[in-house]
Amino acid sequence: MRLSDLQSKMVVNVKDGKHLGTIIDAEVNEAGQILYFTVMVRHLFKRLFKSEPEFNVTIGQIVKIGEDVILVDL
């Protein structure tokens, strides 16, 4: 799966079902392993009043990658 495929999927928290945003970037180490994905908060209201409009999701926090959604446990 390519990063561009992941960027088109919504990131949803399994604990409360909230849409967190979309993946915009990935951090990769020298060995080619993905360390974490950077998720941008999608909602304009949250972006205006939150100091950090993006956050990181590690591989261990990803529960399932589906056709349209990436489920994470935060």
Domains and CATH numbers, the chain: 3-72 (2.30.30.240)
pLDDT category at 46 given cuts 50, 70, 90 is low
pLDDT category at 31 given cuts 50, 70, 90 is very high
Q: Cβ neighbours of residue 4 under 8 Å, at least 6 residues apart?
A: none
**Per-residue pLDDT for 57 more than 90?**
yes
Residue reference for tokens 């591989």: 59
Q: Quick one: which of 3, 1, 2, 74 has its CA closest to 41? A: 74
Q: Quick one: which of 10, 3, 5 has its CA closest to 34? A: 3
Q: Which residues are bridge partners to 64 per DSSP?
A: 71
Within its chain, how far is the Cα of 66 from the centroid? 13
pLDDT at position 2, please?
85
